[in-house]
Amino acid sequence: LGRVSRVGSGVTKFKVGDLAAVGCMVDSCRTCSCCTQGLEQFCTTPNGCIFTYNGIDKHGTAPFTYGGYSKQIVVDEAFTLKVPTNLDPARAAPLLCAGITTYSPLRKWGATKGKKVGIVGLGGLGHMGVKFSHAFGAHTVLFTTSESKVADGKRLGADDVIISKNTDAMGKHAGSFDLIVDTVSADHDLNAYLSLLKVDGSLVLVGVPPKPQPVAAFSLIMPRRNLAGSLIGGIAETQEMLDFCGTRNVACDIELIPMNKINDAYERMLKSDVKYRFVIDMSTLA
Amino acid sequence: LGRVSRVGSGVTKFKVGDLAAVGCMVDSCRTCSCCTQGLEQFCTTPNGCIFTYNGIDKHGTAPFTYGGYSKQIVVDEAFTLKVPTNLDPARAAPLLCAGITTYSPLRKWGATKGKKVGIVGLGGLGHMGVKFSHAFGAHTVLFTTSESKVADGKRLGADDVIISKNTDAMGKHAGSFDLIVDTVSADHDLNAYLSLLKVDGSLVLVGVPPKPQPVAAFSLIMPRRNLAGSLIGGIAETQEMLDFCGTRNVACDIELIPMNKINDAYERMLKSDVKYRFVIDMSTLA
C-alpha cells in the first residue's frame, strides 16, 4: 500500500499521488472462465495467476516475483486497487490479505441480517471475520480456545463467544448455524463444527491445517451440509471490500513496526503474540 | 410398493386398487422449518422424522417401526407416494431408496445439459445415478474400480467410464467436473475426486465410508470447492422423481427373488454380486 509515484501513458484509473494497493496477485491470464468471472485467484491457465510473492515473473526481469518488501513496485493498473482516503493506510494494508480472505466467503455464503454466523479463531484472519460478519448484520459468534480472547472478541463485534473446548457449550448450538468461517491453521476437529450447522449450512475453511482432517460422511449427510474452502478474492471483489471498509470505517487492528524489528515480530508471531497483524512502516527501510 | 387395500374416511389421494409406495419415512413432525420446506428427512424435532425401519412408533402399537417385510402396512396418505402405472412395480420399488438418493443431489446441485457430472461406483445407487444424470442431459462420467463394469456403465447411460485406480486417466480430468455424486460406502480418497472439480464444483457423498476420510484444506481452497452430503429426499421430491420416471420410463435394474431366497441374496449382496438391486416378490411370503 502506498502512493502512486509514476503512471504509464495508458493508465486511466490512477494519477500520481493517489493512495493505491497491491494484494496477493499482480497478474493473471485475464481470459479464462475464472478470470472473466472476476476470480483471477483461480485462473485456470497454467501459471496464469501470478502471485505477488514467488510467482513466475511474466516479464522475465527476475526469476520470480519478489513481492512487497521494497520501496516500490511496478504493477499493471488492472491489478492495483484504490484505497479509500479516510482509512489509516497502516490499518488498511492487511485488508488486502486478511480482509479479503474473510470478506469473500462471508459475502459468497450470505452472512447477512437474520443469519447466524460463526468465526473460528481470533487471529489476523479471525478478527477481520468478526468485524465483517458484524458489519454485515449477521448474529456473530466467535469460537476460540482461549478465555483470554472473550473480551476482545466482543469488542470486535461478536454477539457471543464460545470456548470451543467446552463440549456442553458447543452442544447447545447444534444445528443452528447458517455459516461458519474457519480461520484456524492447526489440526482440529472439523466434525465438531459441521455438527453446529443447519440443513444446507456451510463450514468454509480459510485456514490450512498442516494435515488432512478426518471428515465423517454423516457430518455432511444428516442433515445435508457443506464443507468448502475459499482463497482471498478477485480484483473486483477486493475493490468492493475496500470501498465497503471506507464507507463503514472498518479496518484491521495492527501493530506498526519499523523494518529493524521484523525478526522480533516474526518470533512474536510464532507465539501468536500479535493483535492482530504486524504492519511494516516502509519509510524505515534503509 | 403395492396396491391400496383400504382407505380411511379422510383419504383423498388414493382409492382402493391404486398402486402406492412407501419410502424410508412414515411420518415426521410436519411443522418444523425442514418439514415445511419439504425436507421431512431432516425434520428438526427430536424423534420427529419416523423412519420406516427401526423408527419410534408414534402410535405405540409396537416398540419401533418394523418396515416393509410384511404383506401390509398402515401409513398416513401424506407419506404415501403415487406410482406411475406404466412402470413395472418390481423395477419401481427401489426408486423409493436408490432412486431418490441419487435423484435428489443431482437435482439440487444442477445436473443438467451442459454440465459434466461424475458418478462414483456402479452399485444399486450408482446405476441409478448414471441413469438420472444421463436422463437430465448432463455429460455423465462413471468412476469405477472394475474394468468389468465399463460396458454396463455405458449401457446405463455413461458417456465415459474412468477406472479410478488409473491416476493418469484421473489426472486428465482435473478441474473439469461441475458435480460428482459419490455412492461408495468403502474407505476411499476423497481428495482425488475433489481435485477433479471446477471452481464452485461439488462432491456430494451419498455413500457412507466406515471411517472418517481425510480431507486436505487445499483440496477445497484451491480452487474454491464444496464437499457435501445428501440423504434420500422429501416426500414432494420423491413424488416428483416417481413422476419423472413414469414420463421418461426410467426404473431400476433388478433381480426379483422369492422370500425363501433372501439368505442367498444377502450372501450375494455382500460379494457385490447383484445387478443392481434385489427385490422381494411379496406374494411369496408364507
Nearest C-alpha neighbor of A182 from the set A152, A213, A151: A213
A98-229: what fold? Rossmann fold (3.40.50)
Write out pLDDT tens, residues A253-276.
999 999 999 999 999 999 989 999
Asked if the Cβ–Cβ distance from A213 to B217 is below 8 Å, we say: yes
Write out pLDDT tens, residues B199-248.
999 999 999 999 999 999 999 999 999 999 999 999 999 999 999 999 99
Cα-Cα end-to-end distance for chain B = 18
The dihedrals phi and psi of B122, each to the nearest 5 degrees, come to -120, 70
B123: CB partners within 8 A, 6+ apart: B183, B272, B276
pLDDT for B29: 96
Q: What is the CATH number of domain A2-83?
A: 3.90.180.10
Write out pLDDT tens, residues A1-42.
999 999 999 999 999 999 999 999 999 999 999 999 999 999
Write out pLDDT tens, residues A53-66.
999 988 888 888 98
Predicted confidence band of residue B161 (pLDDT cuts 50, 70, 90): very high
**Stretch B131-140: mean pLDDT:** 98
ipTM of this complex? 0.95
3-state DSSP helix/strand/coil % of chain B, to nearest 5:
35, 25, 45
Q: Evaluate the omega torsion of the peptide bond into residue B214 and state whether it is cis, within 30 degrees of 0.
A: no
B52: CB partners within 8 A, 6+ apart: B22, B23, B24, B25, B26, B65, B67, B68
* Residue with grid cell 389421494, as numbered in its chain: B13
Predicted confidence band of residue B71 (pLDDT cuts 50, 70, 90): confident
pLDDT for A241: 98
Distance CA B57, CA B52 (A): 9
CA distance to partner chain B, nearest, from residue A68 (Å): 23
pLDDT for A5: 96
Distance CA A56, CA B112 (A): 38
Going by the DSSP 8-state scheme, the letter that residue B189 receives in this structure is -
Neighbours of B169 (CB within 10 A): 14
Asked if the Cβ–Cβ distance from A207 to B225 is below 8 Å, we say: no
Write out pLDDT tens, residues A75-117.
999 999 999 999 999 999 999 999 999 999 999 999 999 999 9
Asked if the Cβ–Cβ distance from B212 to A191 is below 8 Å, we say: yes
Instruction: Name the percent of chain B lying above pLDDT 70.
Output: 100
Write out pLDDT tens, residues A175-210.
999 999 999 999 999 999 999 999 999 999 999 999
Instruction: Name the percent of chain A lying above pLDDT 90.
Output: 92
Asked if the Cβ–Cβ distance from B229 to A214 is below 8 Å, we say: no
Q: Which CATH architecture has domain B2-86?
A: Alpha-Beta Complex (3.90)
Distance CA B99, CA B30 (A): 23
CA distance to partner chain A, nearest, from residue B119 (Å): 17
Residues A99 and A128 sit within 8 Å (Cβ to Cβ):
yes
pLDDT for B58: 86
Asked if the Cβ–Cβ distance from A199 to B175 is below 8 Å, we say: no
Record the cell numbers describing residue A183, joined without a space.
480461520
**Stretch B156-182: mean pLDDT:** 98
Predicted confidence band of residue B59 (pLDDT cuts 50, 70, 90): confident
B67: CB partners within 8 A, 6+ apart: B52, B53, B54
For helices B98-108 and B235-248, the axis angle rounded to 10 degrees is: 100
CA B251 centroid distance within chain: 12
B263: CB partners within 8 A, 6+ apart: none
Nearest C-alpha neighbor of B156 from the set B64, B256, B252, B227: B252
Chain B contact probe: residue of A224, A225, A237 with most B CBs at under 10 A? A224
Q: Evaluate the omega torsion of the peptide bond into residue B276 and state whether it is cis, within 30 degrees of 0.
A: yes
Q: Which helix (H) or strand (E) holds B156?
A: helix B150-156
* Residue with grid cell 398416513, as numbered in its chain: B76
- The full set of domain ranges for chain A reads 2-83, 98-229
Nearest by CB to residue B227, choosing from A39, A42, A227, is: A227
Write out pLDDT tens, residues B80-118.
999 999 999 999 999 999 999 999 999 999 999 999 999
Q: Which SS3 state, helix, strand or coil, does residue A187 take?
A: coil
Residues belonging to chain A with any Cβ–Cβ distance to chain B shorter than 8 Å: 34, 37, 39, 42, 44, 175, 190-191, 199, 202, 205-209, 211-231
In this predicted structure, the answer to whether residue A153 has a pLDDT above a threshold of 90 is yes
Asked if the Cβ–Cβ distance from A220 to B208 is below 8 Å, we say: no
Nearest by CB to residue B228, choosing from A214, A224, A229, is: A224
Which residue type sits at B126? G
Predicted confidence band of residue B66 (pLDDT cuts 50, 70, 90): confident
Q: What is the average pLDDT value for chain B, to the nearest integer?
A: 96
pLDDT for B60: 86
Nearest by CB to residue B42, choosing from A39, A42, A199, is: A199
Residue A162's Cβ-side half-sphere holds a number of Cα atoms within 13 Å equal to 23
Cβ neighbours of A222 in B, within 8 Å? 42, 229, 231
Asked if the Cβ–Cβ distance from A220 to B205 is below 8 Å, we say: yes
Which residue type sits at A104? S
CA distances from A1 to A22, A29, A245 (A): 6, 24, 15
